[in-house]
Structure 1
Amino acid sequence: MNAKPIIAIVTPVWNGMPFIKECVASVLSQDFADWELLISDNGSTDGTIDYLLTLTDKRIKVFLQQENLGIMGNLNFLFLQVSAPITQILCADDYLSSETSLRHISRYWKTAPNSLGFVTFKEQGWAAQVRSEAVALEDRIIPEVLPVGQADLWFFVCGNFIRNLSNVSLRTTIVRELGGFSEAFPAAGDFEFWVRASKNYAIGVKNQDLICVRLHTRAASNYLTMKGQVFEQLLAIYGQLIQRLSPTHDIRQLQRYFNLTVCASYYYIGLKLILHGNFQYLKTLFKANMFPAWSKWTLLVSCIPVTMVNRKQRLKVRLMKYMLSGSKIQEKRASKKLLANKLG
């Protein structure tokens, strides 16, 4: 075994019971042994710490934070501890789906181009789980490698197609090089980092089942967005994307797409919550009203008809096809003609 492991697994955790046990067990069961597992507990009170202190494998390092750093802060801490050149993020409620997962990840990086900074290994059944035609389309058309600086339109049209943090494997050094995950984006810091990193690094996209991302009510993605606070963070990210795309695309068209597919859905959720006596969500959206969002009154009027038409995201699929068919993106493996065939 090397003095430095080939791959690191970093696991941020806060109140991770009982899922953390399956997460750690999935790493211990790997047939690829040259790894280190770094776990940072963010102040758990549910027995997670007691469990972590029972772990005796020398390849596992446990860190106990005295105060909660937030998910992004905890990730930044973990990346500072990593010694391996490649890191796989594995959140405490997720797990490696087979005993060969790390072997496949290591093999991928052996042949990856030097320009590639990170790769997402996406579950092939995810679109069916979330019942999304838009996600199914995304899985069919996004190239396996997005060259440096050519991911902006894909991020804008598809959103965070990288998906869950646990889907991502990356070169360890790029996190420190790019200043880490921004703690100013507590609910969307991963999305913001991928967009930022794509200016300097190519992105790998593999539809391969290596990680199981668990859907459950206590997931961080739920409690970090339950009051609508992610909306302002998304406005900032999409605003940056629009500015980067503006030299080659019509800003009004970009803004229209964003409002019809993203903003309208958030406003619709806000109106539904009012029926249950929850006014905080919509108030949060009102406070975050800034470019590239339309005025709050325009969104209120448009969100209901747009969302009703967009059931099962069929409207979004049509808009995605329209936006991408007119794209100036040129891929070595996906010419405009091939892209049009895929979209058809």
Structure 2
Amino acid sequence: MELTSDKPLVSVITPAFNRVMLLQETLNSVISQKNCNFEYLIIDDGSTDGTWDWLQNLQDPRIRVMRHPNHENRGQAASINLGLKKAVGHYVVILDSDDLLAEGALEAHSRFLANNAEFAMVYGSGFAVDNNLDPIYPLFRNNHVEKSDPNNLLLDCYIPSPGLCMFRKAVVDKIGFLEESFRAAQDHDFVLRIAEAFPIAYSGYHSFYYRKHENSISQKGLEKRWSTGFEILNRAEARFPYRRSTIRKRRALLHFRMGQVYWKQGNVGRSAIHILLAGFGDPVRAVNVILGVEKPN
């Protein structure tokens, strides 16, 4: 597909809800990208902190701002879907409103996809960072390899954010949009569906900063995330021929995570039930976690 110079090659989509204090740094990381023709779509999801007013003052012609009818709060998935429907780029990046692109990310990954037609999505390396953008830990080990096996992605959920990824917009025609009924983990479900339908690749290019801060995921948010994980797992099992061991071990991990959430809430009874189910589902991993040999993802 040949693209004219006046049509954006890449569409970057950011859903924003009450993140006006962080959004400036996210925006700067996008508009500072060089050697890539792109558009930047920012969707305000019913913010009440002045986000929409701030967006209205942006002057960069590459930026398109939009919101839902009546300034409704419809959730992250619905906001991303609105962006996908409006996007005109050949490739897409979904960037959360508190994360940042690294220098050269759009150029590197758009070139990778242009030169490797067999892959529908590529993701790169990055760092988790604190509020000052100081590195906390790398998101992948130096020897990380992508085997393009959905079993691995379902089991370990090792792509922590869609901002690491760039995918061909055409994949949406096959796998559909993000699931709007999910108010958590909808990005994991979406990336998983891409991996089930197409080969994916790891570039190793430093492309992303994953901001960790006190408002990123609350304990209530974690409960929603892991409970949604069970629904994602059930749908995945019905949709794709995963190995039975993958389904069993992923379900065990979800029970372990729910046990952790209920333990922190002081609900010892419910925590114990989930921890026991985790142990029955994947006894080897349970022992390794208890002994500190392995950390669950």
Q: What TM-score do you get using the length of structure 2 for normalisation?
A: 0.81
Q: 1:56 is paired with a residue of what secondary structure?
A: coil
d(CA) in 1 for partners of 2:74, 2:269: 28
Which stretches in structure 1 are left out of the alignment for 5+ residues?
A: 287-294, 321-344
The one of 215, 224, 228 equivalent to 1:218 is 215
Q: Who is 1:324 aligned against?
A: none
The 8 Å contact of residues 289 and 295 in structure 2, kept in 1 or not, is answered as yes
Using the alignment, how far apart are the partners of 2:192 and 2:261 within structure 1?
26
C-alpha change, 1:110 and 1:213, in structure 2 (3 Å) is same
Is the deviation greater in 232-241 or in 200-209?
232-241
Q: What does residue 166 of structure 2 align with? A: 169
Question: Which residue number corresponds to residue 234 of structure 1?
Answer: 229
Q: Residue 100 of structure 2 contacts residue 209 of structure 2 at CA under 8 Å; is this kept in 1?
A: yes
* Matching residue of 2:97: 92
Q: What residue number does 2:132 align with?
A: none
Q: Of 197, 207, 231, which residue of structure 1 is paired with 2:194?
A: 197
Question: Are the counterparts in 2 of residues 267 and 299 from structure 1 also a CA contact under 8 Å?
Answer: no
Q: CA deviation at 1:301?
A: 8.2
SS in 2 for 1:10: strand
Rounded to whole Å, the distance in 2 between the matches of 1:267 and 1:24 is 37
Matched residues, number: 284
**Contact 2:105/2:205 (<8 A) preserved:** no
From 65, 68, 74, give the equivalent of 1:69.
Answer: 74
| Letter of the structure 1 residue corresponding to residue 168 of structure 2 | R
2: CA distance between counterparts of 1:13 and 1:224? 21
Determine the C-alpha separation between the residues in 1 that align with 2:231 and 2:292.
23
C-alpha contact 2:101 2:163 (8 A) present in aligned 1:
no
- Residues 102-147 of structure 1: CA deviation (Å, up to 9, x unaligned): 222222122122x322122221678x8369xxx756x63433x62x
Aligned partner (choices 78, 81, 95) of residue 83 of structure 2: 78
Deviations for 1:233-280, whole angstroms, at most 9, x for unmatched residues? 21233345556456xx4x3x4455335544223303312320xxxx4x
CA 1:173–1:189 in 2, change beyond 3 Å: closer, same or farther?
same
Kept after mapping to 1: 8 A contact 2:233/2:247: no
* Structure 1 residue matching 2:20: 3-state secondary structure: coil
SS at structure 1 position matched to 2:8: coil
SS of structure 1 residue aligned to 2:14: strand
RMSD of aligned residue pairs (Cα, Å): 3.4
**What is the DSSP-based 3-state SS (H/G/I as helix, E as strand, rest coil) of the residue aligned with 2:223?**
coil
Whichever of the two has the greater Rg, that structure is 1
Say which of 153, 168, 182 aligns to 1:155. Answer: 153
Once residues 30 and 195 of structure 1 are traced to their aligned partners in structure 2, the CA distance between those partners, rounded to angstroms, is: 27
- Corresponding position: 1:271 with 2:274: no
Residue 315 of structure 1 corresponds to 294
Match of 2:51?
A: 48
Q: CA deviation at 1:232?
A: 2.7
Matches within 5 A, 1:1-344: 2-32=5-35, 34-65=37-68, 66-98=71-103, 100-113=104-117, 115-123=118-126, 129=136, 140-143=143-146, 146=148, 151-158=149-156, 160-219=157-216, 222-223=217-218, 226=221, 228-241=223-236, 244-245=240-241, 249=243, 251=244, 253-254=245-246, 257-258=249-250, 260-274=252-266, 279=267, 296=274, 298-299=276-277, 310=289, 314-315=293-294
Tell me the TM-score normalised to structure 1 length. 0.71
- Superposed displacement of residue 191, structure 1: 1.3
CA contact (8 A) 1:242 1:254 kept: no
Report Cα offsets for 1:69-95 as digits up to 9, x if no partner: 200010000000011111122221112
Distance 1:39 1:188 in 2: 20
User: What is the distance in 2 between the residues matched to 1:5 and 1:183?
Assistant: 27
